[in-house]
Amino acid sequence: MDATCYESHLRCPTNIKLLWEAVDWLHGLIKDICKTTGETLPRSRYLKWKKRYVSYSKMRRKTKKKRRALTLALLLLLDKLGGEVDRLEARHKITMTGDQYRRRATAKKVLAQQHNYFHKGERPKDRIVSMDRPYIRPIVRGKETKPVEFGAKVNKFQVDGISFVEHLNFNVFHEGNRFQDTVFKAQRLTRTRTKLAGADAIYATNKNRSFATKYDIRTDFKRKGRAGKHEKQRSKLAGAITKERASRLEGSFGKDKEHYHLKRIRARTRATEILWIFFGIHTGNALEIGRRISATALEKAA
């Protein structure tokens, strides 16, 4: 068992880009409302800050002074446009679509999070990184080349090389707490008692060690304390489990991402993104089973 992140197709989520997306969407909504109701478009400095945002985006060196000035201006403009939408809605008794109401709620949450972060230094909880997909959260993975990833985190396990999803969430979770649930799920699927379990060092908590000892499950966890009477045999077994996990499970992550379109998921909704991940993983399973059936048929024919 191990966990990975299947990243969503997302632009680099800086605070200024997120604020501009919210401002641009609210301004477009106000234009549509005014066109429908025949009211004059309210005055704002949208065009001025649009030019400055484009100029800022083209800068190779973005100084802290210019970043703070633009962030403050976008916060004020976002607050003003949100108030104009509320005023127009109250005056004309407008009924919006479900998607528009969801995006307005997202824009308000973005304003609250970015305002507190800019003025008070408070790091947002459940930080929004995209107006289109507000369910995506930053997931700190601690990798050298990519410390933060954006997408669904999946705790996956394999039985004889066939992959299964044990837990999927767009919020951060500790995969080490999923060890017992993974073992029980594997036993329900195979209807056999689990005797061997391979997992990363993050799963090797005292609680999981006690659980494995209680149910006589052999793992590849690093030994704690003094060596036992059968230490040589234990270390050989642990090495074999680690090799199997590293070659099969870790290899399946790369195969899913490179060959089954799970490297950058281009779905636009939460449900579609989850479905995309399941299709990718089980497509790999289907091809693996097909290869095994073909190999068995060739052996029998020979």
Distance (Å, rounded) from C-alpha 251 to C-alpha 169? Answer: 22
Distances from the Cα of 47 to the Cα of 24, 60, 65, angstroms: 10, 23, 21
pLDDT band at 211 (very low <50, low <70, confident <90, very high): very high
The alpha carbon torsion through 229, 233, 235, 238 (nearest 10 deg) reads -130
How large is the average pLDDT for residues 233-255? 90
Contacts within 8 Å (CB) and 24+ apart, 218-221: 220/245
Token pair listed for 39: 């009211």
pLDDT at res. 112: 96
Residue 25 confidence (pLDDT) above 90:
yes
**pLDDT tens digits, one per residue of 165-189:** 999 999 999 999 999 999 999 999 9
Could you tell me the sign of the dihedral formed by the alpha carbons of 116, 120, 125, 129, in that order? positive
Distances from the Cα of 225 to the Cα of 112, 210, 222, 228, angstroms: 50, 14, 10, 9
Residue 142 confidence (pLDDT) above 80:
no
pLDDT at res. 246: 86
CA 124, 167, 143: angle at the middle one, nearest 5? 55
Locus of tokens 């705790």: 155
Of 241, 254, 256, nearest to 287 by C-alpha is 256
pLDDT at res. 231: 85
CA 231, 235, 238: angle at the middle one, nearest 5? 135
Higher pLDDT, 117 or 229: 117
**pLDDT tens digits, one per residue of 33-52:** 999 999 899 999 999 999 99
How large is the average pLDDT for residues 26-38? 93
Residue 287 confidence (pLDDT) above 90:
yes
Please, what's the b/e burial string for 234-244 (b: 16 or more CB within 10 A of its CB; e: otherwise)?
beeebeebbee
* Annotated domain spans of the chain: 13-120, 139-301
3-state secondary structure (DSSP) of residue 264: coil
Non-local (6+) Cβ contacts of 276 within 8 A are: 261, 262, 265, 267
Please report, in angstroms and rounded to a whole number, the separation of the first and last CA atoms in the chain: 36
Number of CB atoms found within 10 A of residue 90's CB: 9
